[in-house]
């Protein structure tokens, strides 16, 4: 897909099922490496990042079979522990394989990860945590990272910041380490909880799941298991923003309201009528969004992954709103593209001040990153005329079928082909 084209100002009305969680499935795929047997993951989204992780695992010797949304990983025979550079630089989430391969083989090699350009995103906490379990880590020429340990041993890891990736890496390394590992200042995101529950199903012994202090008792062996991934809370949040931008109503089946409490609180303040049910979330919006002031934060705060869609909502709000980005300094890259659509956004360091303008103006814009691309879809639904979004390979990394889902809710949206690239979207 080379682009997305949207005809805005059409209220939404429909129902969609939210895809499986990208941020839960990727570390689960890494966890499968710990077991010399078979792991089955269900509700796996068919997105580019999942395909990339399958390619990585296959290159290491795993046998992977993805049928519909069921992924079977046979990790009984792994022939290498050095992750190919071309895969690592394409996807940041591959860094969690460092802890997984250390836990399985006592050694691993990778490179500094790539992915979206949303800030420096250092991995110092990852390396610190693994070092606390006895891994000897060397940073080599060309950005290569090598880690080895004769036998990982439990230890106390104190994180000064609740890094999701670092918490995942230490969890994966600790599962088969000798003794007890105590992780203090652990990330509490729902994806961490899902990873722990999956590991428990494999035979891991973990306590304090979902808390700031997590304790892992090392085990010698794991077992075959199956686990169903939860719905993607970031995709659900994006679709909620779409309905609020376009107006109308929708039912998001599979969206877990318990994972979105902080987000739903903000969206209700902005005027959305949101009803939660055990099987999903209903949303109705009949007016322009109200302005809010929001600060991103680790869970249970407002997630940085939904800051860009929120910026699009504020761009059409009835008043002035503000966003403080406290997690990634590069998250405001979307602002420049929204300005092309007529948005009034002023940036001051990690703060964005937005004066709502309605409607926005359809034009050609470029997705700067995964969530920024999704935010431009949100904005396009509230824009007069035609919006053409290019650079949509970013969106494919996290959204299985954003066009199909929104079309099911009544949006006039389509994928653009290479032949359409000459048009400017206006």
pLDDT in tens, the chain (426 residues): 469 999 999 999 999 999 999 999 999 999 999 999 999 999 999 999 999 999 999 999 999 999 999 999 999 999 889 888 888 877 878 899 999 999 999 999 998 875 444 344 578 999 999 999 999 999 888 888 999 998 999 999 999 999 999 999 999 999 999 999 999 999 999 999 999 999 999 999 999 999 999 999 999 999 999 999 999 999 999 999 999 999 999 999 999 999 999 999 999 999 999 999 999 999 999 999 999 999 999 999 999 999 999 999 999 999 999 999 998 666 799 999 999 999 999 999 999 999 999 999 999 999 999 999 999 999 999 999 999 999 998 898 999 999 999 999 999 999 976 555 444 433
Residue 224, token pair as written in the block:
């075959």
Report pLDDT for 142: 83
* Domain identity same for 110 and 185: yes
Q: Pseudo-torsion of CA 394, 395, 396, 399, nearest 10°?
A: 150
Query: Residue 67 maps to which CATH number?
Result: 3.65.10.10
Distance CA 294, CA 244 (A): 17
Neighbouring CB atoms inside 10 A of 256's CB total 21
Tokens (6 digits) for 411 = 């949006």
Q: Are residues 266 and 148 in the same domain?
A: no
Query: Do 220 and 176 touch, CB atoms closer than 8 A?
Result: yes
Residues 187, 247, single domain; the answer is no
Comparing C-alpha atoms, which of 24, 351, 362, 15 is closest to residue 189? 24
Q: Among candidates 193, 189, 183, which has minimal Cα distance to 216?
A: 183
Q: What CA–CA distance (Å, rounded) separates 146 from 136?
A: 8
Helix (H, G, I), strand (E, B) or coil at 393: helix
| Alpha-carbon gap, residue 6 to 413, rounded angstroms | 4
Same structural domain, 12 and 38: no
| Token pair recorded at residue 387 | 């919006």
The Cα–Cα gap between 325 and 265 comes to 18
- Both 337 and 218 in a single domain? no
Q: Which pLDDT belongs to residue 86?
A: 85
How far apart CA 13 and CA 407 sit, in angstroms, is 10
Same domain, residue pair 260 and 375: yes
Q: Are residues 31 and 123 in the same domain?
A: yes
The residue from 198, 228, 258 where one domain ends is 228
| 123 and 72 share one domain | yes
Token representation of residue 122: 């250092």
Torsion on CA atoms 146, 150, 152, 155, rounded to nearest 10: -100
223, two tokens = 């077992």
DSSP state of 178: B
For residues 300 and 61, give the distance between their C-alpha atoms in angstroms, rounded to a whole number.
Answer: 38
Residue 29 is encoded by which pair of tokens?
């795929």
Where does a domain end: 183, 200, 228? 228
- CA separation for the pair 16, 32 (Å, rounded): 30
| Upstream peptide bond of 51 is cis (omega within 30 degrees of 0) | no
What backbone phi and psi angles, to 5 degrees, belong to 256? Answer: -95, 105
State whether 252 and 316 are in the same domain: yes
Which residues constitute the domain of residue 8?
3-19+231-422
Q: What is the pLDDT of residue 120?
A: 43
Helix (H, G, I), strand (E, B) or coil at 82: strand
Q: How far apart are CA 219 and CA 119, in angstroms?
A: 37
Q: How many domains does the chain have?
A: 2
Distance CA 416, CA 4 (A): 5
For 3, 119, 359, 376, 409, the CA distances from 402, given in Å and listed in that order, are: 12, 25, 22, 12, 11
268 plus 409 within the same structural domain: yes
Catalytic positions, please?
A: 116
Assess whether 169 and 289 both reside in one domain: no
The pLDDT value recorded for residue 111 is 87
Q: Can you read off the two tokens belonging to residue 279?
A: 């099987």
| Residue 331 pLDDT | 72
Angle between helices 164-174 and 22-31 (to 10 degrees): 30
* CB atoms near residue 164 (< 10 Å): 19
Instruction: Say yes or no: 109 and 250 in one domain.
Output: no
Strands 386-390 and 364-366: parallel
Of 187, 203, 228, the position where a domain reaches its end is 228
């Amino acid at each position: 897909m080379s682009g997305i084209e949207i005809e805005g100002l059409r209220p939404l009305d429909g129902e969609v099922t939210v895809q499986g969680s990208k941020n839960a499935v990727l570390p689960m795929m890494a966890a499968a490496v710990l077991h010399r047997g078979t792991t089955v993951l269900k509700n796996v989204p068919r997105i580019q990042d999942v395909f990339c992780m399958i390619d990585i695992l296959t290159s290491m010797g795993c046998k992977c079979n993805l049928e519909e949304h069921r992924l079977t990983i046979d990790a009984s025979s792994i022939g290498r522990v050095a992750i190919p550079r071309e895969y690592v630089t394409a996807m940041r989430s591959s860094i969690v394989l460092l802890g997984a391969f250390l836990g399985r083989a006592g050694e691993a090699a990778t490179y500094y990860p790539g992915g979206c350009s949303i800030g420096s995103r250092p991995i110092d906490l990852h390396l610190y945590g693994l070092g606390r379990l006895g891994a000897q880590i060397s940073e080599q020429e060309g950005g290569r990272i090598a880690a080895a340990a004769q036998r990982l041993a439990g230890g106390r890891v104190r994180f000064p910041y609740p890094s999701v990736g670092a918490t995942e890496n230490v969890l994966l390394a600790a599962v088969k380490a000798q003794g007890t590992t105590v992780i203090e200042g652990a990330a509490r995101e729902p994806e961490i909880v899902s990873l722990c529950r999956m590991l428990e199903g494999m035979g891991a012994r973990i306590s304090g799941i979902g808390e700031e202090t997590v304790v892992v008792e090392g085990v010698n062996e794991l077992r075959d298991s199956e686990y169903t991934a939860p719905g993607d809370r970031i995709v659900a949040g994006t679709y909620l923003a779409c309905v609020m931008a376009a107006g109308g109503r929708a039912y998001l089946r599979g969206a877990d309201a318990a994972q979105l409490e902080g987000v739903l609180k903000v969206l209700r303040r902005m005027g959305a009528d949101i009803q939660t049910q055990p099987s999903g979330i209903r949303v109705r919006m009949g007016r322009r969004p109200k302005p809010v002031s929001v600060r991103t934060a680790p869970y249970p705060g407002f997630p940085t992954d939904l800051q860009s869609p929120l910026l699009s909502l504020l761009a059409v709000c009835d008043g002035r709103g503000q966003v403080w980005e406290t997690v990634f300094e590069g998250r405001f890259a979307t602002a420049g593209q929204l300005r092309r659509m007529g948005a009034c956004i002023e940036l001051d360091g990690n703060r964005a001040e937005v004066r709502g303008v309605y409607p926005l103006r359809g034009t050609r814009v470029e997705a700067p990153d995964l969530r920024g691309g999704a935010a431009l879809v949100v904005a396009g639904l509230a824009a007069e005329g035609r919006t053409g979004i290019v650079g949509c390979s970013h969106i494919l990394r996290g959204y299985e079928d954003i066009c199909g889902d929104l079309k099911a809710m009544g949006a006039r949206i389509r994928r653009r082909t290479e032949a359409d690239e000459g048009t400017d979207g206006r």
